[in-house]
Amino acid sequence: MTPELPEHCTHAIELLPDRVIKRFRGTDREGGAREWRALTLLAAHAPGLAPEPWDCAPAAAAPVVVMSRLAGVPMRGRALSDV
């Protein structure tokens, strides 16, 4: 089930320990396909730079892209000079 998204949001993100699930609005039919293309191109030409593409359901009522979750420290609230 896709959560109700605020009008200004294009997608919802679910963070799991090993993966990220990105659910796009049903009205954004191409959003999932664009995300999938970007992830698969990066995986092929720059492995390790971005999450690994795991699954894609572009024809779903709300398109879904599943990718690996990268380790790291959240940058939210931190000054760029602190990283």
Q: Tokens 């790291």 belong to which residue?
A: 72
Task: Judge whether residue 30 has pLDDT over 90.
Answer: no
Spell out the domain ranges in the chain.
11-69
Mean pLDDT throughout 27-47?
Answer: 92
pLDDT band at 82 (very low <50, low <70, confident <90, very high): confident
pLDDT tens per residue, range 51-78: 999 999 988 888 999 999 998 887 788 8
pLDDT number for residue 73: 80
**What is the pTM assigned to this prediction?**
0.80
- Separation CA 24–CA 19 (nearest Å): 16
